[in-house]
Amino acid sequence: MKDYGEIQDMRFTSKEIIKDTQALLRDTSLDVSIPLSKEDQNTLFDLLTYVRYSVDPELSEKYDLRPAVGIAATQVGILKKLLAIVLYDDNDDITEYALANAKIISHSQQKAYLKGGEACLSVDGLHEGYVPRAARITVEGYDLIQGKEIRIRAKGYEAIVIQHEIDHFFGTLYYDHINKENPFMEIKDAIVIE
């Protein structure tokens, strides 16, 4: 994907994020056609730009962006299966996806969860507890960055982030997975990610 440098007008800022108090966030998203329309390409690029800029302190302040590692189109009121993810590892290497029609085609039985719990741009309230997810997943979808259909084998934190964003396609929020009776109940044989 071409690097356009800094964007003059951000299409999405924190003001466009749909909150969990709005029914739209619980609706199901639709598949998009491949090849992507110009509109869907632009939406994916704008979602990716949001996430890229949100982790830069200067740009996040300039454009009023809450920090994020991922965002789904549903969160800006577009009910299409589009999502963007930007992850940095311990060496500051970047993994980026701008995915259309992403779907999980297989997953491990073993679970994993973030010790500190999950958060979401669309959720302002506090929802503490462990969010059990598959520890390993295989995902297929069209990646705008690579310009082709791809298969991703993800584990650990990356797998959790991808599952969180794909959940948005089905109107599911992270706190829907938390055990209501015992939010911090130990999950047998799960991988705990610090």
Which residues are identified as catalytic?
A: 165
Are the C-beta atoms of residues 80 and 30 closer than 8 Å to each other?
Answer: yes
Are the C-beta atoms of residues 72 and 79 closer than 8 Å to each other?
Answer: no
Sheet with 82-88: strands ordered across: 70-72, 82-88, 94-107, 136-143, 148-155
73 secondary structure, DSSP code: G
Name the strand (E) or helix (H) holding 96.
strand 94-107
